[in-house]
């Protein structure tokens, strides 16, 4: 088998593990290049009565000569160049220089060791024959003999150098010379109208091997032309098919680029390694600019938000994190890593509701066994560098340990033509788990294939001879646990894993990966396994550099660190079918009540869902100019008939929607009013002012009822819940008050008690409460968002996430996230549990105010537009022009079906969500 082309369309080719006949690059040694090929006859018993010829193809590689017979019954012959005693021309007996031109000139190789591979096209351990031998080859094109012999002699000299570093340097120089003498064949363009953008040298990367050639990109297609024409003359990908691209760290250097034509595939369409970082970056920039929706620009936090809200499965999320952390199926030293999930591999049934059946995801594999952990902790007595584990949780050897039945040629390539000892093979899942749990040097995790739909890697479908175990049984299919009828992928998506997966992510991709977090979690590996652990460019000795690189690649590498703060947990109460488009959607089977017993709350939620599903159909239909300056606040009576607004013109106005006329105008001071709120019962309106006060206005009696002089500077925003007033001020405080305003004019108002004072470093511009009023979020003049626990009046998180004033904030309905918008044009989503900034979208102008349902956002811009954002898609779905200048405030009813906006154009505009 080989990692080869599975299907070819007009636009791209796809590579996955599939059987392959005859020659493949996996017959080469690691870091070896396949240079060129020539049709030839292999002459057996030259000059004797038994002389015969076998048709084959002579393949010149950087460290070997390989002969592939046309007949599949014949073995492929591989002669290591370092084992060659003599390489040169072979002439018939009696030939002399005078008659050399007339005589047949062949190629002679005299050597001491030869490999016979894939006889009858059967993948098996290589057969080795030792002793002095001579092979003679007759090229179809005799004129090429001279050049082929010269190439073989040159590569033979490189292979015989004493130091590996010198060998690598000489072979690299030979390869670069060949690349410099060639270029991409423009006749390969699919259309004569294509415009060339750039061309450079590169290598196509597949597991364990690379193939040198030329990359060319036009305005429509990305091409790669292998120098040797293998596996085909040109690989091409149409740019419009590209969905995401990733920069890769290859051989510990920033030289890789991987291109996907689908977002959720395990395997990419092409992986390229460049010789210069600038070439890689230029090509990346060109493709990224071309893409309309460049998925690779999504940060890990954006995928986190989708996962938290149930729009990505655990499997999909882990796959995205692996891609973002430089893990690729084309790089076995950085193969995607997945966790062991199950602890019980002996029961006949697997109860996924029993936490005892699951592995502790908060600990690395090496720390799961307490007794083994105690022995490993003696690493603290080691000299520097100190590390706990002498092997890694992912390495090429571990990957091929799992995949040997599906990809046997990879193990043969990695282990110089041999399979592993039969008793050390992947024979049983339970046995492998026990070794990982108890073994002194075994700490390996799993690979994605354990959780995919294709389980062929567990079956010896190729009938490979993998050896005989000590007990006498042949190595065949992998022994499954008794409960194997319950797929392990179901366990990955179980509630237990969903609730604890963030703990494992902290270990592999997060803040417990390195530093003090890793020490505390017993998660310390050799320093060279971490990104930045060694600077290869600083190593001058080529031999030392090659040895260092080989050691690191074979040992395994820790993923790129994606998170530096604790990863939030998944929002499990919202779990529905992962195919649903909204976290609020639910089938009747999911409902806790029968169709005839729907509660008022159920109907309200259904109304909200319907309204937000139609938010892109937002229609604005009524405009009223009622103030002399910018509108600053809007509140509406419960029946929707009366609209109250505040303005910088220092007035509170009441407008009748039914009569479409202004009913009253009230002035409390000569300074601007900044916000308003209608108390339950629709009897009292609270307004805040720049004169440092909060005013209470009685609607029934048409007069000011109370005045709260609570701040030393302007009050910018107020909120009210359950007889508590929350006021934000430019004096750098948010104050929490308890009290009930008088309901009858002329009576003494109730005393307002100051319950808490939330101190800030600078002026507070805006505040919002979560639905239960247990949390408060505040936004400051200098761009900081603060999340407060109101039950203890303590600061939970302080997040500097805007470069200017925070204009507005809001909690998601489930209180798991906070959305903020600022003068910098950014819309930021923050996880309440951890304080992590998990998503950021940018518009070309400030968004002054907003409402959202946790998935979609309606924001109002400086230019007067209303923008609908698809948060999970990180894009604007709809634009509606409303005001002629900045929108400053917005009100939405409880059913989320009606909105009213106010702006600097002194207008209020009402509309509905198209339902």
Contact 856, 870 (CB under 8 A): yes
- Give just the sign of the alpha carbon dihedral 552, 556, 560, 564: negative
Is residue 15 classed exposed, middle or buried when 0-12, 13-18 and 19+ CB atoms within 10 A define those classes?
Answer: buried
Average pLDDT over residues 771-794: 96
- Give just the sign of the alpha carbon dihedral 661, 688, 823, 828: negative
Taking all residues of the chain, what is their mean pLDDT, rounded to a whole number? 87
Any idea which of 354-358, 764-768, 777-781, 868-872 has the lowest mean pLDDT? 868-872
pLDDT at 742 over 60: no
Contact 224, 215 (CB under 8 A): yes
pTM of the complete model? 0.83
3-state secondary structure of 83: helix
Q: What is the pLDDT of residues 546-596, one digit of tens each?
A: 888 888 888 899 999 999 999 999 987 544 333 333 332 333 233 333 333
> Dihedral, CA atoms, 237, 238, 240, 243, nearest 10 degrees?
0
3-state secondary structure of 894: coil
Q: Please report which confidence band the pLDDT of residue 295 belongs to, taking 50, 70 and 90 as the band edges.
A: very low
Average pLDDT over residues 773-794: 96
Q: Please report which confidence band the pLDDT of residue 743 belongs to, taking 50, 70 and 90 as the band edges.
A: low
Task: Read off the tokens for 540.
Answer: 């001058």
Contact 139, 148 (CB under 8 A): yes
Dihedrals φ, ψ of 435, to 5°? -65, -40
Q: How far apart are CA 438 and CA 337, in angstroms?
A: 20
Q: How far apart are CA 483 and CA 345, in angstroms?
A: 8
CB within 8 Å of 845: residues ≥ 6 apart: 825, 861, 862, 863
Query: Would you report the helix, strand and coil content of the chain in percent, each value rounded to 5?
Result: 25, 35, 40
Contact 798, 830 (CB under 8 A): no
Is residue 150 classed exposed, middle or buried when 0-12, 13-18 and 19+ CB atoms within 10 A define those classes?
Answer: exposed
Q: What is the pLDDT of residues 119-144, one digit of tens each?
A: 998 999 999 999 999 999 999 999 99
Dihedrals φ, ψ of 534, to 5°? -150, 140
Which residue carries 């093979």 as its tokens? Answer: 425
Average pLDDT over residues 531-543: 84
- Which pLDDT does position 383 carry in this prediction? 85
Instruction: Using alpha carbons, list the distances in angstroms from residue 573 to 775, 778, 816, 832.
Output: 19, 27, 11, 16
CB within 8 Å of 52: residues ≥ 6 apart: 43, 44, 45
Q: How far apart are CA 730 and CA 734, in angstroms?
A: 9
- Which pLDDT does position 6 carry in this prediction? 37
pLDDT at 745 over 80: no
Is residue 382 classed exposed, middle or buried when 0-12, 13-18 and 19+ CB atoms within 10 A define those classes?
Answer: exposed
Question: Taking CA 366 as the corner, what is the angle to CA 564 and CA 420, rounded to the nearest 5 degrees?
Answer: 115
pLDDT at 175 over 60: yes
pLDDT at 160 over 70: yes
Q: Quote the percentage of the chain above a pLDDT of 90.
A: 65
Contact 268, 260 (CB under 8 A): yes
454/804: higher pLDDT: 804
Kindly write down the DSSP assignment for every residue of 581-638, as one continuous string: SSTT---GGG-SS-GGG--HHHHHHHHHHHHHHTGGG-EEEEEEE--SS-EEEEEE-T
Q: How far apart are CA 224 and CA 7, in angstroms?
A: 17
- Which pLDDT does position 740 carry in this prediction? 66
- Which pLDDT does position 282 carry in this prediction? 95
Average pLDDT over residues 643-672: 91
- Which pLDDT does position 305 carry in this prediction? 87
Any idea which of 146-155, 175-184, 697-706, 828-837 has the lowest mean pLDDT? 697-706
- Which pLDDT does position 544 carry in this prediction? 87
Average pLDDT over residues 273-289: 94
pLDDT at 472 over 50: yes
- Which pLDDT does position 712 carry in this prediction? 96
- Which pLDDT does position 19 carry in this prediction? 52
pLDDT at 748 over 60: no
pLDDT at 755 over 90: yes
pLDDT at 716 over 90: yes
Question: Taking CA 788 as the corner, what is the angle to CA 782 and CA 794, rounded to the nearest 5 degrees?
Answer: 110
- Which pLDDT does position 376 carry in this prediction? 92
Task: Read off the tokens for 9.
Answer: 């369309």
- Which pLDDT does position 588 carry in this prediction? 29
Q: Please report which confidence band the pLDDT of residue 20 belongs to, taking 50, 70 and 90 as the band edges.
A: low
**Closest to 413 in 3D by CA, of 680, 587, 208:** 208
Task: Read off the tokens for 325.
Answer: 């952390």
Within 740-792, strands assigned E span 753-759, 764-769, 775-780, 784-789
Q: How far apart are CA 215 and CA 366, in angstroms?
A: 43
- Which pLDDT does position 809 carry in this prediction? 97
- Which pLDDT does position 595 carry in this prediction? 36
Walk me through the domains of the chain, giving residue ranges and CATH numbers.
Answer: 22-91+103-179 (2.30.29.30), 182-297 (2.30.29.30), 355-555 (1.10.1540.10)
Q: Please report which confidence band the pLDDT of residue 48 belongs to, taking 50, 70 and 90 as the band edges.
A: low
Average pLDDT over residues 697-726: 91
Q: Quote the percentage of the chain above a pLDDT of 70.
A: 89
Any idea which of 257-271, 469-483, 598-612, 695-709 has the lowest mean pLDDT? 598-612
Q: How far apart are CA 633 and CA 800, in angstroms?
A: 26
**Closest to 808 in 3D by CA, of 758, 761, 860:** 860
CA 538 and chain centroid, separation? 30
**Closest to 689 in 3D by CA, of 720, 726, 717:** 717
Contact 84, 156 (CB under 8 A): yes
Instruction: Using alpha carbons, list the distances in angstroms from residue 256 to 249, 280, 519, 535.
Output: 6, 7, 31, 17
- Which pLDDT does position 18 carry in this prediction? 54
- Which pLDDT does position 750 carry in this prediction? 60
CB within 8 Å of 839: residues ≥ 6 apart: 299, 301, 302, 304, 305, 828, 829, 871, 874
Kindly write down the DSSP assignment for every residue of 2-32, as one continuous string: EEEEEEE-SS-EEEEEE---S--GGGSPTT-
Neighbours of 732 (CB within 10 A): 18
Q: How far apart are CA 284 and CA 282, in angstroms?
A: 5
Contact 350, 486 (CB under 8 A): yes
Average pLDDT over residues 507-516: 96
Q: What is the pLDDT of residues 70-97, one digit of tens each?
A: 988 899 999 999 999 999 887 655 444 4
Q: How far apart are CA 640 and CA 176, in angstroms?
A: 76
375/8: higher pLDDT: 375
- Which pLDDT does position 703 carry in this prediction? 86
Q: How far apart are CA 466 and CA 476, in angstroms?
A: 7
Q: In the 8-state DSSP scheme, what is residue 355?
A: G
DSSP H or E segment with residue 79: strand 76-80
Query: Exposure pattern of 107-139 as b/e (b: 16+ CB <10 Å)?
Result: bbbbbebbbebbeeeebbbbeeeeeeeebbbbb
pLDDT at 1 over 80: no
């Amino acid at each position: 088998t080989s990692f080869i082309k599975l299907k070819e369309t007009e636009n791209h080719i796809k590579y996955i593990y599939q059987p392959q006949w005859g020659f493949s690059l996996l017959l080469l040694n690691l870091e070896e290049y396949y240079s060129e090929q020539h049709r030839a006859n292999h002459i057996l018993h030259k000059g004797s009565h038994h002389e015969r010829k076998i048709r084959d193809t002579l393949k010149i590689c950087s460290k070997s000569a390989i002969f592939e017979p046309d007949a599949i019954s014949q073995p492929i012959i591989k002669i290591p160049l370092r084992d060659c005693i003599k390489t040169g021309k072979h002439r018939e007996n009696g030939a002399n220089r005078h008659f050399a031109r007339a005589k047949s000139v062949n190629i002679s190789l005299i050597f001491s060791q030869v490999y016979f591979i894939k006889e009858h096209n059967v993948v098996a351990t290589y057969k080795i024959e030792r002793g002095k031998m001579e092979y003679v080859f007759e090229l179809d094109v005799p004129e090429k003999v001279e050049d082929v012999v010269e190439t073989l002699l040159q590569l033979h000299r490189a292979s015989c150098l004493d130091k590996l570093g010198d060998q690598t340097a000489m072979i690299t120089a030979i390869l670069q010379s060949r690349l410099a003498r060639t270029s991409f064949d423009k006749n390969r363009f699919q259309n004569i109208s294509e415009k060339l953008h750039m061309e450079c040298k590169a290598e196509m990367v597949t597991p364990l091997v690379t193939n040198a050639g030329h990359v060319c990109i036009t305005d429509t297609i990305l091409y790669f032309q292998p120098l040797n024409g293998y596996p085909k003359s040109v690989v091409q990908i149409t740019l419009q098919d590209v969905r995401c691209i990733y920069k890769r760290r290859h051989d510990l250097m920033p030289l890789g680029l991987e291109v996907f034509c689908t977002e959720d595939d395990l395997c990419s369409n092409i992986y390229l390694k460049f010789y210069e970082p600038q070439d890689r970056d230029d090509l990346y920039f060109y493709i990224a600019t071309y893409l309309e929706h460049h998925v690779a620009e999504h940060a890990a936090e954006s995928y986190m938000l989708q996962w938290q809200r149930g729009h990505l499965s655990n499997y999909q999320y882990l796959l995205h994190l692996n891609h973002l952390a430089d893990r690729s199926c084309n790089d076995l030293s950085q193969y995607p890593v997945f966790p062991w999930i199950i602890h019980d591999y002996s029961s006949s049934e697997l109860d996924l509701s029993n936490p005892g059946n699951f592995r502790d995801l908060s600990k690395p594999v090496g720390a799961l066994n307490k007794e083994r952990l105690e022995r490993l902790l003696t690493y603290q007595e080691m000299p520097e560098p100190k590390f706990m584990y002498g092997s890694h949780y992912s390495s090429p050897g571990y990957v091929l340990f799992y995949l040997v039945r599906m990809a046997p040629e990879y193990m043969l390539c990695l282990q110089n033509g041999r399979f592993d000892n039969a008793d050390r093979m992947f024979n049983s899942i339970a046995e492998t788990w026990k070794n990982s749990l108890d073994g002194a040097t075994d700490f390996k995790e799993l690979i994605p294939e354990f959780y995919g739909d294709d389980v062929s890697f567990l079956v010896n479908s190729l009938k490979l001879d993998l050896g005989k175990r000590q007990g006498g049984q042949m190595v065949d299919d992998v022994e499954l646990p008794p409960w194997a009828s319950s797929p392990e992928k179901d366990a990955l998506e179980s509630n237990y894993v969903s609730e604890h997966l963030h703990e494992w992510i902290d270990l592999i991709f997060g803040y417990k990966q390195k530093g003090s977090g890793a020490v505390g979690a017993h998660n310390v590996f050799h320093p060279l396994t971490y990104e930045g652990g060694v600077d290869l460019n600083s190593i001058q000795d080529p031999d030392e550099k090659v040895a260092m690189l080989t050691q690191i690649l074979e040992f395994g590498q820790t993923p790129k660190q994606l998170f530096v703060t604790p990863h939030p947990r998944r929002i499990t109460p919202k779990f529905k079918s992962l195919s649903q488009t909204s976290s609020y959607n639910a089938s009747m089977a999911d409902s806790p009540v029968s169709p005839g017993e729907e509660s008022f709350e159920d109907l309200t939620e259904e109304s909200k869902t319907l309204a937000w599903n139609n938010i892109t159909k937002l229609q604005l239909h009524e405009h009223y100019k009622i103030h002399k300056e910018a509108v600053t606040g809007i509140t509406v009576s419960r029946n929707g008939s009366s609209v109250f607004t505040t303005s910088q013109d220092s007035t509170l106005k009441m407008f009748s929607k039914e009569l479409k006329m202004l009913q009253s105008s009230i002035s409390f001071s000569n300074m601007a009013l900044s916000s308003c709120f209608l108390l339950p019962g629709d009897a009292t309106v609270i307004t805040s002012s720049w004169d440092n006060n909060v005013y209470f206005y009685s609607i029934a009696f048409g007069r000011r009822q109370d005045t709260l002089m609570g701040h030393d500077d302007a009050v910018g925003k107020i909120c009210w819940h359950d007889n508590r007033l929350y006021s934000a001020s430019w004096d750098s405080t948010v104050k929490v008050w308890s009290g009930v305003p008088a309901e009858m004019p002329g009576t003494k108002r109730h005393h307002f008690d100051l319950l808490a004072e939330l101190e800030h470093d600078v002026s507070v511009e805006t505040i919002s409460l979560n639905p239960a009023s247990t949390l408060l979020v505040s936004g400051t003049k200098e761009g900081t968002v603060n999340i407060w626990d109101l039950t203890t009046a303590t600061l939970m998180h302080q997040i500097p996430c805007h470069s200017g004033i925070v204009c507005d904030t809001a909690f998601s309905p489930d209180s798991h996230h906070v959305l903020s918008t600022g003068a910098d044009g950014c819309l930021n989503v923050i996880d309440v549990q951890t304080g992590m900034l998990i998503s950021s979208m940018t518009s070309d102008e400030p968004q002054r105010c907003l409402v959202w349902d946790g998935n979609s956002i309606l924001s109002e811009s400086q230019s007067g537009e209303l923008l609908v954002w698809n948060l999970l898609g990180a894009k604007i779905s709809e634009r509606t022009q409303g005001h002629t200048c900045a929108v400053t405030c917005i009100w939405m009813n409880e059913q989320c079906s009606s909105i009213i906006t106010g702006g600097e154009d002194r207008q209020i505009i009402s509309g509905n969500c198209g339902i």
